Homo-oligomer: A and B are copies of this chain.
Amino acid sequence: MIGDTTLETKNVADLSHLRAQFPILSETVHGKPLVFLDSAASAQKPDAVIDAMSTMMRTQYANIHRGLHWMSERATEAYEVARSRVATLLGANAREEIVFTRNSTEAINLVAYSFGSLLKPGQAVLISEMEHHSNIVPWQLLRDRVGVELRVAPVTDDGDLDIEAYGDQLSDGKVALVAITHMSNVLGTVTPARRLADMAHAAGAKILFDGSQAVVHRRVDVRALDADFYVFTGHKLYGPSGIGALWARRELLEEMPPFMGGGDMISTVTFEHSTWAPPPAKFEAGTPAIVEAVGLGAAIDWVEGVGFDAISAHEAALTAHALRVLPEVPGLKIVGRPADRGGVVSFTMEDVHPHDIATLLDRNGIAVRAGHHCAEPLMRRLGLNATARASFGVYTTEAEITVLAETLARIRSFFV
């Protein structure tokens, strides 16, 4: 995947043309050019997204649904077109299978509250040891509410899911739902999603994928994965904050009770009894993030324009480069060696605390994240308090990773 298929090596001009579409990349930080290696936390936004949002607010804004006037009809149409974009992105059967949420976190909580309310004591939810807090805490809250069991599939020392143990956890047939990441935000591990789905289904469980990271790096096809639920968050996909999505099989959405109550999710309301609109409206109570949905649609268009083949090749090349140059930094250890990985690399450096690494990199204009990355249990499993993490976006260059490595070497020399 490395070499002439990457965005960069294919045509360097392409990447600078592409970078020019992200206004923030020409900012300086502490007098140095910004080197933004924190895209896994949240990606930067291309002009296409920023402009789609401002244009909507400048020329075509109104509340959607139930509005009989032109502005409202146009806004409704734009919002629903964005829904179709998401459906296409994920390979969904129908746009009605897409529910807009604020982010991945809300999407998972929606499933935990709504699908979760159909579970009974004696049943179990199975997660993994490498989940983000967003895919742990909602299930703990569900456990405490409903009395289901919460099971955890371990990860190997390399940072892969322990498939055998996963199978064992499923074997008694009590697991009603598997909720597992499609790509780890700490280790970069891409999980063998289709295999996990097959094993879950064979054991009578549904499966939810946390696609927050995966959807950014590869083409996802929920039908090819045979998933039941898939969630992602817009702001990591070069889209706006405040918008994310849940995809679920239509039958599931039909079966599930509403999560929140309010405008737009009802069919009729009397004080005694209300009836619900069909999905997805049933799950979208109140005025949604209209402009943000449209921004997400623009982000998806933009990403599809670049193309997932190019994106994954580019990120594979960047990751390979990082895995080559970073270990040359004295004292630096890469955390995790997963079999299949995306553009996220965690590391530690002897004698230098990850927070000091992050601050000193920042003073050189380089943005990385340091800490537990909202994955405390994984940190504990790895015997770490914190790591530093560099993560790559479509606009990241090999040169930036080289600068990272050089700066890390200088930081380290400063401390020993």
Contact = CB atoms under 8 A, between A and B. Distances in A.
Contacts of A273: 140
B138 A260 contact: yes
A71 interface: yes
Contacts of A138: 260-262
**Count of this chain's copies in the oligomeric assembly:** 2
Interface string A277-301: 0000000011111111000000000
Nearest to A74: B29
A299 to B, nearest CB: 11
Contact of A287 (B63, B152, B233): B233
B241 A108 contact: no
Interface stretch (A161-169, A312-320, A364-372): A364-372
A235 interface: yes
A190 interface: no
A72 B141 CA distance: 29
A99 interface: no
Interface in A252-267: 258-266
A416 to B, nearest CB: 22
A173 interface: no
Interface in A369-399: 369-371, 374, 376-377, 380
Contact of A288 (B242, B260, B377): B242
Given A68-B362, A286-B103, A367-B69, A261 B134 contact: yes
Contacts of A49: 57
Contacts of A367: 62, 67, 69-72
A288 to B, nearest CB: 7
A67 B53 contact: no
Contacts of A286: 102-106, 134, 233
A217 to B, nearest CB: 17
A122 interface: no
Contacts of A42: 61-63, 287
Interface stretch (A6-14, A353-361, A401-409): A353-361
Given A62-B42, A241-B288, A376-B268, A134 B262 contact: yes
A183 interface: no
